[in-house]
Amino acid sequence: MIISASRRTDIPAFYSEWFFNRIKEGYVDVRNPMNVHQVSRVSLSPEVVDCIVFWSKNPQPMLNRLDELKDYMYYFQFTINAYDKEFEVAVPRKERVINTFKNLSDIIGPKRVIWRYDPILLTEKVSLAYHVRYFEEIAKRLSGYTNTCVISFVDLYRKTKNNIKETKACEPSKSEMMELAKKLNHIAGQYGMTIQTCAEEIELESVGIRHGGCIDKKLIEDLLGVKLMVGKDQNQRKECGCVQSVDIGEYNTCGHGCKYCYANYNENVVLSNRAAHDPSSSLLVGYVGENDKVTERKVSSLIKLPEKFRKGDIVKLRHPEKYRKMNDIYGYQINLYKIVSINDKTVKLDSVSGIVPADELQAVSVDGVEDRWIYYNPEIAASFLFDDDDFIGSGIDYSYYMDALSQLYDGKKSYKNSILKKHLYYVHEVQHWLRTKDNREDGLYVNDYKD
C-alpha cells in the first residue's frame, strides 16, 4: 500500500504531531468524503506500507522527527511557487521554504524531494515573463537539491473559481502553455533538473517534457529496489499518471489559504475543522462517534517478491566488478550471468571461475534496460532450400528477447502479453514460465559480444 499524505491538505505543515501519533499507534481513521459516517481504519504497519508520499508547502515541522520514519520509505512533493500573498495567503516567505527544502534534501537526498511548481496561472501581473524570471530564481537556489520538477497548469473548477474570482486569474492558452513549458524546460536543464507534468492533457514531449505521476511507480520501485504490483489510480482524472494510493487527509483543513486550491472551498468550514482537530485523535478532524461505522480496510504490501533462483537463470550481481567473465574478450562488462548450480549459500556462474556467494545474486528487471543484452532462441535455420541451393547453416538473431516473444503466440495471445498479464517482472521469472511452455527450455541467452 502507498499512503498519500495528502492531496487534500498539508499534513507536514499543520498536522505533523497527529501524523507521528498515528505512526506510533499503527493505524489511522479516514472519513469517506462522500459519506461522513463511513470511516475506514487503515493500518500504518511498515509490513503493509510500501511508501509514504508527502505533499507540502512547508514540511519544516517534520524535519527534526524524520528518524521516527526509519522503518518506512517516503518522499516529498514540495511546492514552491512564484506567487505572493495575493494567492498564497499564509505560506511562509520564499527564503524560509527554500532553506527548508535544502535542509530536507540534505537529510534524505535530492531524489526524494520533488519540486512542484504548480499550478501555473496568469494575471496582468503574473505574465509568462514573470514565470520565466522567478522560476529561474527558484531553480537557481534549488540546484543540486532536487532532480525533478513537476509543473501543471491551473484548472479553474467551479470551487476554485469561487476562491480566485477577485484576483482575475485565468488559465493559460495552449500556445502559452507550449511557449512557457519550452522556456522552463531549458532553465531546468541548466540547473540539473528534469521537468515532468502532472495530470495534463497537453502533450509537451516536443519541448522535452513528458507526462509524469506524482505517486510515481517507477520512482518508488527505484527507491525500494523491488517491483510493485499496482495499477493506475482510477479515482483520479484520466490524465493523472499516479498509481493507486490511500489518502489519509481531509478536505477543508489546510491552513495555507491558497486562492487556487481545489481542496479548500469553504473558509468557514476550514476554520471549524481546524478548531476540531486533536493530535491525539485517530481522525484528522474530530473523533469517531457512535453514529460512525468503522470498517477495517483490507490492505497489503504491493511489493512483488521475485521467485527463487534456479539453475539456468539469468541474474545480475551486486558487485560485478569482483567477478569478471572469462569470455568477456571485448571488455563490455555486461552485468548478466547464467547460473550453473546453486544452493543456499553459494552459486556457480557460467564463465566465472570460482564460487560466488548466493547473496551476490540480484534479479534482472524486464524493462528494456537491465535486460537489453538478452536474446531469444539463437539458431535461425533456413525454412526451405531450392534444389540448387547450398545449405549455408544457421545464424544468430541477437534482437531483444521481448520483441521476439511478441511475435510468438500461444493461441490468440502472444507470449509477451502473457508475461505482462502474469506480472512477471523479472527475467528469471520469464524463464521459469517459458520452461513450462517450451519443453523445459527457456531459450534466453546473454549476448556477451553485442556491439
Mean pLDDT, residues 195-209 taken together: 92
Domain boundary among 296, 314, 339: 296
CB contact set of 202 (below 8 Å; sequence gap of 6+): 153, 174, 177, 178
Q: Could you tell me if 268 and 377 lie in one domain? A: no
How many domains does the chain fold into? Answer: 2
Looking at the domain assignment, is residue 38 inside a domain? yes
Looking at the domain assignment, is residue 210 inside a domain? yes
Instruction: Say whether 267 sits in a helix, a strand or coil.
Output: helix
Q: Could you tell me if 157 and 35 lie in one domain? A: yes
Q: Is the backbone of residue 3 left (phi > 0), alpha (psi -120 to 50) or beta?
A: beta
Looking at the domain assignment, is residue 301 inside a domain? no
pLDDT tens, 284-338? 999 999 999 999 999 999 998 899 999 999 999 999 988 888 777 666 688 999 9
pLDDT attached to residue 450: 59
Measured CA to CA, the distance from residue 359 to residue 268 in angstroms comes to: 58
Domain boundary among 241, 268, 296: 296
Q: Which three cell numbers stand for residue 240?
A: 493523472
> Hey, which residues does 29 pair with through a beta bridge?
41
pLDDT tens, 227-250? 899 999 988 888 898 999 999 999
Instruction: Say whether 435 sits in a helix, a strand or coil.
Output: helix
Model confidence at 380: pLDDT above 50:
no
Q: Could you tell me if 112 and 139 lie in one domain? A: yes
Model confidence at 164: pLDDT above 80:
no
Q: Could you tell me if 244 and 103 lie in one domain? A: yes
Looking at the domain assignment, is residue 164 inside a domain? yes
Q: Could you tell me if 29 and 140 lie in one domain? A: yes
pLDDT tens, 401-423? 999 999 999 888 999 999 999 98
pTM: 0.81
Q: Could you tell me if 90 and 6 lie in one domain? A: yes
Measured CA to CA, the distance from residue 335 to residue 320 in angstroms comes to: 6
Model confidence at 125: pLDDT above 60:
yes
Q: Taken in order 76, 81, 84, 87, is the CA torsion positive or negative?
A: negative
Q: Which residues constitute the domain of residue 33? A: 2-296
Confidence band, pLDDT 50/70/90 cuts, at residue 424: very high
Confidence band, pLDDT 50/70/90 cuts, at residue 382: very low
pLDDT tens, 432-449? 999 998 778 899 999 887
- Cα radius of gyration (the chain): 26
pLDDT tens, 269-284? 999 999 999 999 999 9
Q: Could you tell me if 182 and 79 lie in one domain? A: yes
Domain boundary among 247, 276, 296: 296
Q: Could you tell me if 166 and 266 lie in one domain? A: yes
Instruction: Say whether 312 sits in a helix, a strand or coil.
Output: coil
Q: Could you tell me if 227 and 359 lie in one domain? A: no
Q: Could you tell me if 169 and 75 lie in one domain? A: yes
Looking at the domain assignment, is residue 451 inside a domain? no
Mean pLDDT, residues 200-220 taken together: 93
Looking at the domain assignment, is residue 425 inside a domain? yes
pLDDT attached to residue 405: 95
Amino acid at 205: E
pLDDT attached to residue 437: 87
pLDDT attached to residue 378: 59
Cis peptide before 119 (omega within 30 of 0): yes
pLDDT attached to residue 381: 45
Model confidence at 388: pLDDT above 70:
no
Instruction: Tell how far CA 221 is from the center of its chain.
Output: 7
More confident residue, 150 or 159: 150
Q: Could you tell me if 328 and 264 lie in one domain? A: no
Q: Could you tell me if 292 and 317 lie in one domain? A: no
Confidence band, pLDDT 50/70/90 cuts, at residue 97: very high
Task: Please answer whether residues 103 and 82 qualify as being in contact, where contact means their C-beta atoms are separated by less than 8 angstroms.
Answer: no
Mean pLDDT of the chain: 92
